[in-house]
Structure 1
């Protein structure tokens, strides 16, 4: 007499194993795709064609900025959950530059929805200050833009780390 009570692989076992394996792979891929799409759109510019057309204007603006020989210094001081951004602007002769419309943007490299825009207000002549109410610790891009009469006269991008 043959008494076989051990595990046997049948056609049904193989089918259930394959369906379970590929079902798990499909579910993992679906979760990873959802996380990737919901955390970053992947869009850097809305239209590559328009961005390419504006490239020469960016080169001209950078040359004009370099010809001004301005000295711009910025510091960021942490205060609780926020930060204070201080910017000093001096011309080629070392005199403070006044009358600029300045803005700073703390841009997250991972999530554009976390970006914080701060308007900088001139206090003392040539010194601009703004407060970011809430800013998470981590790596950020500090982007500073200055306009005069609607024309951009200064632009900089710096990588910073907030603790």
Structure 2
């Protein structure tokens, strides 16, 4: 049986094929990694930096109001989560007429975030329901608006079983 000699052309083609496979796999993995990147908190860090002073001022105003807003969230066996807020002012009187919004945010994957519609269910009591809430760690974000201005913001890590 005669063997064919190893020529420069064959070596060149083997090198091109090898590096072609390596580059092809790298490009594929890079595209998949970029397409599934859930880890960004903000789309534009520059724009977030511009609003930083406004956020500090809003936080100082919130502290000065001395509101007491307590939240209770419970995940039922069917996957629904029930969120209830009790909002009181500094004197302990119920806060009424506000528009509260809730969000359940996954700490590692923003694509799984869920909005919780809250409506006033009584004097200072706000309730909402979210469907298909998976168990695990979530960030519970509560925002309160009065006349179009955000007057309350809270972010807490919760574990739902």
2:127 is the counterpart of 1:129 = yes
| CA RMSD in angstroms, aligned pairs only | 2.7
Deviations 1:55-94 (Å, cap 9, x if unpaired)? 1110110000000111111111112112011111111111
User: Counterpart of 1:53?
Assistant: 50
* Deviation of the 1:44 alpha carbon: 2.8
User: Counterpart of 1:39?
Assistant: 36
User: Counterpart of 1:161?
Assistant: 159
What is the TM-score with the length of structure 2 in the denominator?
0.81
Q: After the TM superposition, which parts of structure 1 deviate over 4 Å for at least 4 consecutive aligned residues?
A: 10-13, 18-28
Inter-CA distance 97–116: structure 2 relative to 1 (3 Å threshold): same
Inter-CA distance 127–52: structure 2 relative to 1 (3 Å threshold): same
Inter-CA distance 29–146: structure 2 relative to 1 (3 Å threshold): same
* Deviation of the 1:147 alpha carbon: 0.3
User: Counterpart of 2:3?
Assistant: none
User: Counterpart of 1:5?
Assistant: none
Equivalence map 1:23-34=2 (5 Å): 25-26=22-23, 28-34=25-31
The CA distance in 1 between the partners of 2:156 and 2:136, in whole Å, is 14
User: Counterpart of 1:150?
Assistant: 148
Contact residue 75 and residue 133 of structure 2 kept, 8 A: no
The CA distance in 2 between the partners of 1:82 and 1:25, in whole Å, is 46
* Deviation of the 1:128 alpha carbon: 0.6
User: Counterpart of 1:105?
Assistant: 103
Note the residue ranges of structure 1 that are not aligned, 5 or more in a row.
1-9
Inter-CA distance 98–28: structure 2 relative to 1 (3 Å threshold): same
Contact residue 39 and residue 108 of structure 2 kept, 8 A: no
Equivalent position to 1:66, from 54, 63, 68: 63
The CA distance in 1 between the partners of 2:102 and 2:88, in whole Å, is 17
What is the TM-score with the length of structure 1 in the denominator?
0.80
Count of paired positions: 158
| SS of residue paired to 2:97 | coil
The CA distance in 1 between the partners of 2:25 and 2:158, in whole Å, is 34
* Deviation of the 1:160 alpha carbon: 1.4
Inter-CA distance 136–24: structure 2 relative to 1 (3 Å threshold): farther
